[in-house]
A and B are shown apart, each in its own frame.
Chain A
């Protein structure tokens, strides 16, 4: 069966220039991501994981190369098209939560569902991450892990086509981490959302369909996972 590629990148390059110094964050990435699969992105710190995911999500622009999302060339898209793309198709979970401090947990989710086409309710989304009892708390009143779960609820609430998660469990203990991963797994399975999870934690790679290894801005390995585990089976 020919699998349908949701993302296809060719020669994807990103160079940050800071004055005289040039940082090559990505040096020619060629990958495909397929519909409905759960991919884990592994790599050392500074290897370019966040940079890649940000470009896939239309948050950042590439220096060279192409990124196709379902036939649409993201590197050619203008700001309006990228906005529309993010609004319709992408759910983000950021490394640094990035909640709006003046809104409660529920409202932080609502701010996304209000502009989405087919969302679940903010309450349902918060239920999924086990935060039903803290719906009315402000970010400053939540622990780091709780803030991260609100961020996940915010990302999945619109039922996006792709879910891009940058170290979603980085700040959580293993028990809470599993709850979060279960939520991601459920969205992936039930809604067939293509999901990318960045992690440092090799154990989490066991729940992936495929694992992509990045090192120094290049893909060093892509591995299929024949023994895919469920999130609840994971411990670390």
Chain B
């Protein structure tokens, strides 16, 4: 082995502690990047293949009741590829040992075979058999939530009749990737489930012999979905068609794309920042490490090694470290990617996960860290060879120190000699101090970026459920119902307050832009369900005109005063033109609000309500539940506290795990940086400190000089890091906005304290390791050899 390579290996061994810390910094950056990116790629690839393999429909339509004969006419619509008619209905379910109301959606499937579209993945058991009208297949998350297996039974109230159903299989469908109650925003598998039943059984139960009330279809290649929907709507209108819609508006797909969009932003932005910070720190650390070898570089140059030779020598040293870090980071990233993938799999309910790891992901991560390190090498070697070798080799001239500002002000008598040394050193090399401070504060900043999610989500929960939605439970009716129903609810024992609401499904259009949603009619002076904007002020509903959320205003490109075309999709279809009266900012959801009476005028069914919000006496909870489940017009009951719990659960499962991983890596990066900064400071000053020891300074005094300087820098870094972190997190929160969510930027004191404590902890650990070294400082050795 060449002597130069041997020197490299010995140097590497000599700085193994620092090298290890650097390896961890790189490992954290690369692992974050690789794992997050691979999870995202895997999920997206899985979604694509799942949809393709299981025939997820391109469009859907709902009617009241249409004869099966209509199928022929639908098939003839140009642009339609495959069509399947179905019977779909809401049901109330009863599960033994579970006292609360459970609602569900039941979807027909052909008996003894897979449907043409939205095919089922059967996890256990089998499909329903012909002639067995009581057989059902349960959606897996619902079955799992209740511990139901094939062979078990479940009771359903179908069309007012009690039915005992046999569970013959547990399955999944691309149509219900996200199993969400249409009235809710979050999945709650305990209280809402999807199941599949044979077509003839469902037809019989709902008087749908030879008829259907739901269609799924796919498009021929190149077909225009809008044209197909137009034609389909024309055919279905006489049968109570409620407007066909494309995949984008299908609930499960809509939610999943929204979530994926958000996830993708998180998975792109954060890891890139992490990797960037790691690369930056690497650059600083490496270039300072090499600067320490200034004299050795001069010797090599004196004996005829070229600048390139020297650069290659240090390049090799650094590459060895970086490649170790990048390789370990990639491995860890792959492993973590799989773990996170499994976690998401439990949440998103794919039958399988197509684990994808693009080689480009690994190449990017490695190239970025290696690049940053090599640039650091080039910078440092360049700086080192700029000095003529003769000068570099001479014993470093006594540094030119100046009296510090403090001393010029005549305050030095207040400070001991060691304290003055700390101040002078900081003032003499402000750039070096600044870089160290910047390095530590950027690691503190990424800690904040990993931690602030908790605060923001808590805030959303507080606003959404503490201020805006103050009801205990929500009752929804199957059809628009007379206001008398609300009085009836109010008279139930235990109900303290009942407040009606009215929702009308509509399509809003402005120019060529359109959006399907529901207009929520809100009574004047609401007590329970209030509208709160992002400034936490209650919003008053104007007597006329629409109030829409900011996000919806952007989707439709409207400003207050503009008119939108509203197409009501309930019963017949009416269109009218309504002005936008105002725009409100909310955290969750895309919504349009109107005065309740104005909505009823729009829908044209007189004074109707869609449901009611209730405030109840908790002691009567069971009683109220029982009496409501018996009523045929009640489509669903939801309890508010359970919605909150479900919200927290969904967040906890994904975001918080993710956040935990990020914070962990941020902590490791922080430690790596602080430790390296401390070690480099020690190397830079070991001769000076050893001389002081020889002159009779105690260990404690010498330690104070070194660690005092470090402490000053850390104390400056923390506030800077908190500010940087807050700025970066605010920008990040803004970039996460989707049609569904607006993540407010909230930073709690606890998070700031936590981030500061992690930095302080890493500093304390580093300081301890460095003090150990300081105690072993070889006085004679340091003074005898010249580097």
Contacts and interface: CB of A to CB of B under 8 A. Distances in A.
Contact of A97 (B296, B298, B786): B786
Interface stretch (B2-10, B202-210, B584-592): B2-10
B4 A114 contact: yes
A59 B306 contact: no
B301 interface: yes
Nearest to B304: A87
Contact of B784 (A107, A112, A144): A144
Interface string A115-158: 10000000000000000000000011000100100000010000
B785 to A, nearest CB: 5
Nearest to A111: B3
A6 interface: no
A83 B302 CA distance: 8
B393 A102 contact: no
Contact of A114 (B3, B10, B298, B393): B3
Contacts of B307: 79, 83
Given A83-B307, A140-B784, A98 B299 contact: yes
B388 A86 contact: no
B386 to A, nearest CB: 10
Contact of A139 (B3, B6, B785): B785
Nearest to B303: A112
Contacts of A96: 393-395, 786
Given A83-B305, A88-B304, A100-B299, A107 B3 contact: yes
B151 interface: no
Given A59-B390, A110-B3, A140 B781 contact: yes
B295 interface: yes
Nearest to A50: B390
Contact of B10 (A103, A112, A147, A154): A103
B2 A84 contact: no
Nearest to A106: B3
A92 interface: yes
B383 to A, nearest CB: 14
A34 interface: no
Nearest to B784: A140
B391 A60 contact: yes
A215 interface: no
A77 to B, nearest CB: 13
Contact of B304 (A60, A84, A147): A84
B787 to A, nearest CB: 6
A94 interface: yes
Given A94-B393, A139-B785, A107 B388 contact: no
A51 B385 CA distance: 18
Given A83-B305, A87-B303, A100-B7, A61 B786 contact: no
A195 B66 CA distance: 110
A75 to B, nearest CB: 13
B784 A102 contact: no
Contacts, number: 93
Contacts of A107: 3, 6-7
Contacts of B394: 96
A227 interface: no
A102 B10 contact: yes
Nearest to B11: A102
Contacts of A103: 3, 6-7, 10
Contacts of A86: 301-304
Contact of A98 (B3, B10, B309, B786): B786
A60 B303 contact: no
User: Which of B14, B304, B781 has the most A CB atoms < 10 Å from its CB?
Assistant: B304
Nearest to B394: A96
A96 B307 CA distance: 23
Interface string B282-317: 000000000000011011111111110100000000
Interface in A49-93: 50-51, 54, 57, 59-61, 79-80, 83-88, 90, 92
Contacts of B393: 94, 96, 98
A97 to B, nearest CB: 6
A60 B390 contact: yes
A101 interface: yes
Interface in B306-338: 306-307, 309
Nearest to A139: B785
B109 to A, nearest CB: 74
B3 A61 contact: no
B787 A92 contact: no
B719 interface: no
Contact of A87 (B2, B6, B305, B786): B305
Contacts of A85: 304
B79 interface: no
Given A102-B7, A114-B3, A114-B4, A59 B302 contact: yes
B389 interface: yes
A110 B303 CA distance: 11
Nearest to B786: A96
B10 A111 contact: no
A54 B393 CA distance: 11
Contacts of B303: 86-87, 92, 111-112, 115, 154
Interface of A: 50-51, 54, 57, 59-61, 79-80, 83-88, 90, 92, 94, 96-103, 107-108, 110-112, 114-115, 139-140, 144, 147, 154
The 4 closest A-B CB pairs, nearest first, are A87-B304, A54-B390, A60-B390, A59-B390
